[in-house]
Amino acid sequence: VSVAEYLEQLAEDRDLRITVKSDATVEAETELIKRAVSNLLSNAIRYAQANTEITVHITREAERVWIKVSNEGPTIDPVKLNRLFEPFFRAEEGRSDTGSNHGLGLAIVAAIAKLHGGDVFASSENQVTVIGFSIQTERQSTPVGHP
């Protein structure tokens, strides 16, 4: 079972729809970017309210591509929101259905974004949470033999 099929099945099990809106292509370490998006989608599916839509937005601004995943569900407390990308941090410590969730997914997203010259961000208000990352698309490079 591929990651995409697994995520689709998780979404279907909760009557969630996944919509992708994109006006950009991503030219980067493809497997790492897929992993980051997969981690964002897994979280969005896990915490989304049933019978709602999860949206993936991919946009380009200058030399950056922004990948944002939004879902409808419980609003995350602002204090916890600032810690989401810390390794092992879980906004919902009391959840009993953690499965294999250890609080590393968003920390991995942050590491992948940093590796690609980008950053991470999160917002949550009025039961809509948006979590995402940016990557630099055009890197300055110096030809070999030049200072």
Task: Provide the whole-model pTM.
Answer: 0.83
User: What are the extents of the domains in the chain?
Assistant: 3-136
Q: What is the pLDDT of residue 27?
A: 65
Q: What is the pLDDT of residue 57?
A: 94
List, in order, residues 6 or more apart from 74 with CB less than 8 Å away.
47, 49, 127
Numbers of helices and strands, H then E, in the chain:
4, 5
- Residues 7-56 have pLDDT tens digits of 888 899 999 999 889 887 776 668 899 899 999 999 999 999 999 999 99
Q: What is the pLDDT of residue 28?
A: 64
- Residues 97-135 have pLDDT tens digits of 545 667 899 999 999 999 999 999 999 999 999 999 999
Please, which pLDDT band fits residue 83 given cuts at 50, 70 and 90? very high
Q: Which residue has the higher pLDDT, 87 or 4?
A: 87
The highest-level CATH class for domain 3-136 is: alpha beta
What percent of the chain has pLDDT above 70? 82
Please, which pLDDT band fits residue 1 given cuts at 50, 70 and 90? low
Contact call for residues 19 and 116 (beta carbons, < 8 A): no
**Whole-number Å distance between alpha carbons of 88 and 76:** 17
SS3 72: strand
SS3 34: helix
Average pLDDT over residues 77-81: 93
Q: Give the CB-side neighbour count of residue 99, counting CA atoms within 13 A.
A: 4
